[in-house]
Amino acid sequence: DARVTQTPRHKVTEMGQEVTMRCQPILGHNTVFWYRQTMMQGLELLAYFRNRAPLDDSGMPKDRFSAEMPDATLATLKIQPSEPRDSAVYFCASGLPQVQPQHFGDGTRLSIL
């Protein structure tokens, strides 16, 4: 079965460090989503892309977060500088326009000390 692949699966780092999370969408999917999951806020959409162009990043803190798609097979989410409140599980999902469902990766569990 085709899968969305996220790396790393776990990341522990100190406050102030740069964090980069990567996502390989399912081949042929041109829409990529980044979500953040926390106990307090649940699942929140941070940003999403179609054909590598950002469509909506209104859920993402602009001062420290950035999301890009260098090519169709790679999406990245960066945090610089990281803060303890960024600790969460970050999910990537991919899909096709107007065709559900979105397919989720297994997430990156991020801990900022």
Of 60, 69, 86, 105, the one binding another protein (CB under 8 A) is: 105
Of 43, 51, 85, 113, the one binding another protein (CB under 8 A) is: 43
- The verdict on 4 binding another protein (CB under 8 A) reads yes
Considering only CA atoms, which of 21, 3, 1 is closest in space to residue 11? 21
- Dmax (CA) for the chain in angstroms is 40
Contacts of another protein in 67-96 (CB under 8 A): 91, 93, 95
Residue whose pair of structure tokens reads 């102030």 in the numeric block: 16
**Residue closer to another protein (CB basis): 50 or 81:** 50
d(CA 22, CA 9): 10
